[in-house]
Structures are given as C-alpha cells and as structure tokens.
C-alpha cells in the first residue's frame, strides 16, 4: 500500500507545497520513503525530484519545496511490497526518454511485472530498481515511435493487477486507475488547481472539493485545456475494489467510490453485533485506532456502553511496518495499554478490524486479563484473512496467517479469548454497500483476479 498525490495549476501558481501537504495527509499509506517530482510550465520541461527515507517531514525539505516554483507536480509515500525496501525503489520514478520527461507515482502491485521485465530485458532494457513500477517506464520507452500519451496507454494495456497512478508527462498531469479498480483514486479542484489523490482526506487538507473518483480503467489527462478522459483498452470481467481499504487501510475521514469509510466501519460493527451478539457483557471497546469505529457501531447496535479502556501511545507508528517478530511482539506492548481500574471484574467485548498473525489481539487479551477482566470476547470486523494479497498489501504467507493455520475455535483458545467471532463476507459486503461482484475479497475467499491475462506483447 502506498499513497499518491498530484496537482496541476492552470494559472501557473506553484503546487509544490500542496503536494507536500497532500502527502502529509496520506502518511498512513506509507512511511518508508516519500518523494515529489515536478516540471515547470515555462521551463525546459526537465523533470526534477526530491526523495528521502522515512516520514514526509524527514524525507522532504518543505522549505526548499515552497521556495521552488512548479505548476505541476506529483508525490508518493511508499510502503514496501514489490521490490522490497531498497531505497532505489523510492518514488516517484523519473526518466527523460526519447519523447520527453516522465515521472510516475504508483500505488498497487502489478502482477505480471516479472514477465514484462523478462521480455524487456531480453530486448536490452536495463532496470534501475527491483520494483514493478519501472516496467511502465520501459514499456513507454520501447514505444518511442508513439507520442508519450499513446505510449502510456499502450503500456497500461499490458499490465495486470493493481495500479492507481499519478503521472507527469512533460507538463501534463495524468491520473490512471487499473481496469479492476483495486486501489482508490480521486480527483479534486480548488480554483484553477486540479488534484489527484489516493484518498479524499488529502483533498481536504489543500482545501479542494471532490470532483469524482477516477473510474476503473480510466485515464484522466489534466492540462491547461482542462480534463480529458480516456479508456485503458482492457475489458475486465468484473471490478475488484479492495474491501480492505474500507476495513483498515484508508483514513476514516475519506470517501472512497462514494462510500464514507467511517460509515462503513460503523456499519461493520453493527452487522457484527447482530450476527455475533454478546449479551452478558458489561462494555464494548475497540483496539485503537483501527478497531475503534467498528466498536462504536457494535456497542450502539447491541446497546452496550462503549468505553475507551485501551489507550494507544500516539507517538508509535503502526506495528506492522516493523520488520522482525521480536520487534512486532514488543511493539504491541509499547503501543497499547489497558486502564486497569476500568477493566477489573468486568466482562469486555474487544473489537478489532482484523487478525493477521494474531499477535496484536493475543497480547492485548493477556494485558486485559492481567488487569483483572472476568471475560474477554473478541469480535473482528472483517472475515478471517486466509490468503495473501498480491495487489499491493504486504500480507504474510499462508503459514503466518493465523486464520489459515487454525480454525476459529483453535484460534480463540490460542489468543486466550472466551469467545471469538468474525463478520461474514456477505455481511461485510453489505456494510460496504457496493455490489459483491465489484469488490475484491481475495484475502478472505481466495478468489483472485481472473481473466484478461492473455495479450500479445506487441510494442
Ligand atoms: P496481527 O497482530 O494479527 O498480525 O495484526 C492485526 C492488527 O494489525 C490489526 O489491529 C490491524 O489493525 C493491524 N494491521 C496492520 N497492518 C495491517 C495490514 O497490512 N493488514 C491488516 N489486515 N491489518 C493490519
Ligand atoms: Fe484488498 Fe484483500 Fe483484495 Fe488485497 S486481496 S486487494 S487486501 S481485498
Ligand atoms: Mg490495529
């Protein structure tokens, strides 16, 4: 999972600080590297970039950016999946090729990147990074007989899997979303400036209004003439909007494909309360921050008091980005602490958004028990995660996924809960409120993207 942001100003005002702020609002989507690339309207159209490791404010020099002028820019926050955490995979990636300058910021994971890479390497391409995004640049460079926009369309036609892109082509801003719509992408406007962002929370920070989501399979070309919509020439059998964006990844103040993430999370909790009630409990609580909103929904629907009895240290990042099991184990303790007095002698329902390895919930239950709780019932606002994600989320292999290794009863015993229940795929789909065939639920069901794999490598 990564975040992308882009801005184009018709009146020539600099957008670099806007992009910085947009990335700041998308920080939850990636904390490993941050970068911005820009060209200027009146200059020689060379592409420039600033990239660094870590969070936006350490990776990028805000002062230097705001003293620079560029009317078009894109940015990226990276969370490593394809290509690993090597700094050569920091984005945006940039190139000056035969037909001009290109910069690309990519969220998602291209599933046929290795096949394309092999094909291109056999034709002499030399890759700079280990990531999948660079394949797009090479596919374009191999079509230098076409104008850059046609070369980009020709490249995207060959890709399978997930990509939400912000691209600079000379001084045009391009937004593109794969035909399956895996990752979100939205367009906004403030005065003469048009924005593209992974999530609408990044439009809020720059004071932009939502125009609309980029449609699956759509390419939007934004320049001084306005916005033009093109279609990626691939016909998908169905859409695959990532259900987990609503469950966990996106910020609750975002709207994705017309649905409020907050509203969905609350609804998940309500459905869970109906399917897996816990009548004898004294209170419901959520694991902060990811379980909180569903816990509020659960409490409301089951008429239990909602209490915030687990406190999160605000300065600790999300534990999943820490690499080793040991650090991960420690991470939970550093991050979350129960309020003993509130818990002592109580029967508690603990709601979280998901169980992946099972480390978080196991640790928390043991802390809650140490604080004197009588009963601990766990309710999970997503179905069991049994399969890895190949579309831009760094989920562990099946062997590490708690729900792939054990049935619910065994897992319940393992994490030390009095009861454990998940929401069903059907209820999750209803809570999201999009038609089932539009949603990707592969990590719950194993139903991966089918079809559209066959194509001729004719460049
Ligand atoms: P576990 O400890 O079971 O491996 O992780 C589950 C917890 O990690 C949940 O509280 C969830 O909010 C959080 N989490 C962090 N990163 C991810 C991710 O990439 N996918 C999912 N499903 N949950 C994650
Ligand atoms: Fe989202 Fe799961 Fe599909 Fe990956 S497999 S895109 S996390 S729903
Ligand atoms: Mg969590």
Please tell me the distance from the alpha carbon of residue 222 to that of residue 212, in angstroms, as a whole number.
14
Angle, CA 38 vertex, CA 35 and CA 43 arms, to 5°: 155
- Helices 292-302 and 261-275 cross at an angle (nearest 10°) of 50
- Pick the more confident residue, 326 or 61: 61
**Ligand 2 close to Cβ of residue 389 (< 6 A):** yes
Compute the distance from residue 34 Cα to the ligand 2 centre, in Å.
23
Atom of ligand 2 nearest to the CA of 385: 2
**Ligand 2 close to Cβ of residue 182 (< 6 A):** yes
**Ligand 1 close to Cβ of residue 353 (< 6 A):** yes
Instruction: Summarize pLDDT for 356-366 with one digit per residue, the tens.
Output: 999 899 999 99
Atom of ligand 1 nearest to the CA of 244: 22
Instruction: Summarize pLDDT for 150-177 with one digit per residue, the tens.
Output: 999 999 999 999 999 999 999 899 999 9
Please tell me the distance from the alpha carbon of residue 48 to that of residue 335, in angstroms, as a whole number.
38
Q: Where are the beta strands (DSSP E) in 145-274?
A: 164-169, 172-177, 186-190, 193-197, 209-213, 218-223, 226-231, 241-242, 255-256, 259-260
Residue 83, pLDDT > 70, answer: no
Compute the distance from residue 330 Cα to the ligand 1 centre, in Å.
15
Answer yes or no: are the C-beta atoms of 287 and 351 closer than 8 Å: yes
What domains lie within the chain, and their CATH numbers? 3-236 (3.60.20.10), 255-445 (3.40.50.2020)
Rounded to the nearest 10°, the torsion over CA 125, 130, 136, 138 is: -10
**Ligand 1 close to Cβ of residue 358 (< 6 A):** yes
- Name the residue of 28, 242, 248 whose CB sits within 8 Å of the most ligand 1 atoms, as the mutation to test its pocket: 248
Please tell me the distance from the alpha carbon of residue 416 to that of residue 363, in angstroms, as a whole number.
9
Please tell me the distance from the alpha carbon of residue 251 to that of residue 247, in angstroms, as a whole number.
10
Compute the distance from residue 398 Cα to the ligand 2 centre, in Å.
14
Residue 117 exposure: Cα atoms within 13 Å on the Cβ side: 16
Which ligand ends up closest to the CA of 357? 1
Positions annotated as catalytic residues are: 2
**Ligand 1 close to Cβ of residue 292 (< 6 A):** no
Compute the distance from residue 167 Cα to the ligand 3 centre, in Å.
32
Q: Determine the 3-state secondary structure of 109 from DSSP.
A: coil
Return the residue matching tokens 């593209």: 196
- Name the residue of 434, 440, 445, 446 whose CB sits within 8 Å of the most ligand 2 atoms, as the mutation to test its pocket: 440
Please tell me the distance from the alpha carbon of residue 116 to that of residue 142, in angstroms, as a whole number.
12
Average pLDDT score over the chain: 92
Instruction: Summarize pLDDT for 230-263 with one digit per residue, the tens.
Output: 999 999 999 999 999 999 999 999 999 999 999 9
Residue 330, pLDDT > 80, answer: no
- In this predicted structure, what is the pLDDT of residue 318? 47
335 pLDDT band (50/70/90 cuts)? confident
Residue 423 CA to its chain's centroid (Å): 21
Return the residue matching tokens 């190139």: 95
Return the residue matching tokens 């990147």: 113
**Ligand 2 close to Cβ of residue 242 (< 6 A):** yes
Which ligand ends up closest to the CA of 331? 1
- In this predicted structure, what is the pLDDT of residue 43? 57
**Ligand 2 close to Cβ of residue 248 (< 6 A):** no
User: Is pTM, for the whole model, over 0.85?
Assistant: yes
Return the residue matching tokens 């046609």: 150
Answer yes or no: are the C-beta atoms of 2 and 107 closer than 8 Å: yes
**Ligand 2 close to Cβ of residue 186 (< 6 A):** no
- In this predicted structure, what is the pLDDT of residue 235? 92
DSSP string, 158-191: T--B--EEEEEETTEEEEEE-TT--S--EEEEET
DSSP letter for 81, please. Answer: B
Compute the distance from residue 147 Cα to the ligand 1 centre, in Å.
43
**Ligand 2 close to Cβ of residue 244 (< 6 A):** yes
Residue 96, pLDDT > 80, answer: yes
The least confident of 79-83, 134-138, 420-424 is 79-83
Please tell me the distance from the alpha carbon of residue 176 to that of residue 104, in angstroms, as a whole number.
11
Residue 351, pLDDT > 70, answer: yes
Average pLDDT over residues 297-310: 97
- Pick the more confident residue, 386 or 41: 386
- In this predicted structure, what is the pLDDT of residue 451? 61
Atom 5 (ligand 1) nearest CA: 356
- Pick the more confident residue, 355 or 394: 355
Q: Determine the 3-state secondary structure of 13 from DSSP.
A: coil
Instruction: Summarize pLDDT for 193-222 with one digit per residue, the tens.
Output: 999 999 999 999 999 999 999 999 999 999
Please tell me the distance from the alpha carbon of residue 17 to that of residue 120, in angstroms, as a whole number.
37
Compute the distance from residue 319 Cα to the ligand 3 centre, in Å.
8
Atom of ligand 1 nearest to the CA of 393: 19
Which ligand ends up closest to the CA of 178? 2
Backbone CA torsion sign across 445, 201, 262, 396: positive
Which ligand ends up closest to the CA of 183? 2
Please tell me the distance from the alpha carbon of residue 20 to that of residue 79, in angstroms, as a whole number.
17
**Ligand 1 close to Cβ of residue 294 (< 6 A):** no
89 pLDDT band (50/70/90 cuts)? confident
Residue 223, pLDDT > 90, answer: yes
């Amino acid at each position: 999972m990564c975040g992308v942001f882009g801005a184009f100003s018709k009146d020539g005002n600099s957008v670099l600080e806007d992009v910085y702020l947009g990335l700041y609002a998308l920080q939850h989507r990636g904390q490993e590297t941050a970068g911005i690339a820009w060209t200027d309207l009146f200059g020689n159209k060379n592409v420039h970039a600033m990239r660094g490791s870590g969070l936006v404010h350490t990776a990028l020099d805000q002062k230097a950016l705001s003293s620079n002028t560029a009317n078009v820019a894109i940015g990226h926050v990276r969370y490593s999946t394809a290509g690993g955490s090597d700094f050569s995979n920091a984005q945006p990636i940039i190139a000056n090729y035969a037909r001009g300058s290109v910069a690309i910021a990519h969220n998602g994971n291209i599933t046929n990147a290795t096949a394309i890479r092999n094909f291109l390497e056999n034709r002499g391409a030399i890759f700079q990074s280990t990531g999948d995004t660079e394949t797009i640049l090479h596919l374009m460079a191999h079509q230098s007989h076409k104008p850059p926009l046609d070369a980009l369309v020709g490249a995207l036609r060959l890709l399978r899997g997930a990509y939400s892109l912000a691209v600079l082509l000379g001084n045009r801003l391009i937004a593109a979303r794969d035909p399956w719509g895996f990752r979100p992408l939205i367009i906004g406007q403030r005065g003469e400036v048009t924005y593209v962002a992974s999530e609408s929370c990044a439009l809020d920070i720059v004071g932009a209004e939502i125009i609309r989501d980029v449609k699956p399979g759509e390419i939007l070309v934004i320049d001084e003439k306005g916005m033009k919509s093109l279609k990626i020439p691939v016909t998908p059998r169905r859409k695959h909007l990532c259900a987990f964006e609503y469950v966990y990844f996106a910020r609750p103040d975002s709207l994705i494909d017309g649905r409020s993430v907050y509203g969905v999370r609350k609804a998940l909790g309500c459905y869970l309360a109906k399917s897996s009630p816990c009548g004898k409990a004294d209170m419901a609580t959520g694991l902060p921050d990811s379980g909180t909103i569903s816990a509020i929904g659960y409490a409301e629907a089951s008429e239990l008091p909602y209490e915030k009895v687990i406190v999160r240290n605000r300065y600790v990042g999300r534990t999943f980005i820490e690499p080793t099991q040991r650090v991960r184990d420690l991470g939970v303790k550093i991050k979350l602490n129960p309020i003993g007095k509130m818990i002592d002698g109580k029967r508690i329902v603990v709601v979280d958004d998901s169980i992946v390895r099972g480390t978080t919930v196991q640790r928390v239950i043991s802390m809650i028990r140490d604080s004197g709780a009588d009963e601990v019932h766990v309710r999970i606002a997503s179905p069991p995660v049994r399969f890895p994600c190949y579309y831009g989320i760094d989920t562990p292999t099946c062997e590490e996924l708690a729900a792939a290794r054990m049935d619910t009863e065994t897992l319940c015993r393992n994490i030390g809960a009095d009861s454990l229940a998940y929401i069903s795929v059907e209820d999750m789909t209803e809570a999201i409120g999009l038609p089932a065939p539009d949603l990707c639920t592969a990590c719950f069901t194993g139903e991966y993207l089918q079809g559209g794999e066959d194509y001729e490598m004719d460049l």
